[in-house]
Structure 1
Amino acid sequence: MTHQSREGQHPYWSNHWQHPQYRRITIEQAMVIALQRVPGQVVKAELDYDDGMLVYEIDIRTAEGHKYEVKIDANTGAILRVKLD
């Protein structure tokens, strides 16, 4: 039996996809992109594997107190989804 990490990933991939050559933008760039879409304060930022692709999940709290999750393609920097949490 092989061990699976979260989201059903094989441990090899969980370490492999975090290597910088598999992503084109940095987490700092992803935060800037997210803040351009949803102004506020970043409360969480992480690299994740979602539906077969690398994405940055950036959680932002707005001045009004709303929390948004912005998903950004780690290869292209494209915003994939903005969701009110």
Structure 2
Amino acid sequence: MFDAEAAVTLLNNWGHEALAEGWPVCLEILQEGNLAFTHEQGYIGERSIFDAKACHAESLRFCDGSRAVRLISGDSAGGWTRWTALLPVQPLQ
């Protein structure tokens, strides 16, 4: 099992608050479980214009190459998506 798979189970059961608003307890628990990660944020939309419908993304990048990601759109009534695990590409043998 990759680190992101374990993390999304915890994060999706914890809630959907924005990680940018602070360092919530759920991320402290990930660290206490020896899951080393980097928290990244991004913007998906046109660079040169303000777009209220653009998406914001959050990503946790783990040492094993896996990631946990989620998105929110400015016009989304549902809030953040659930966290999803992205597994690293396995080399062909």
Pairwise TM-score range, normalised by the shorter structure: 0.3 to 0.5
**Which structure dedicates a bigger proportion of its chain to strand?**
1
| TM-score, normalisation: structure 1 | 0.37
Relative contact order (C-alpha < 8 Å, sep 6+): which is higher? 2
| TM-score, normalisation: structure 2 | 0.35
Point out the structure with max Rg over C-alpha.
2
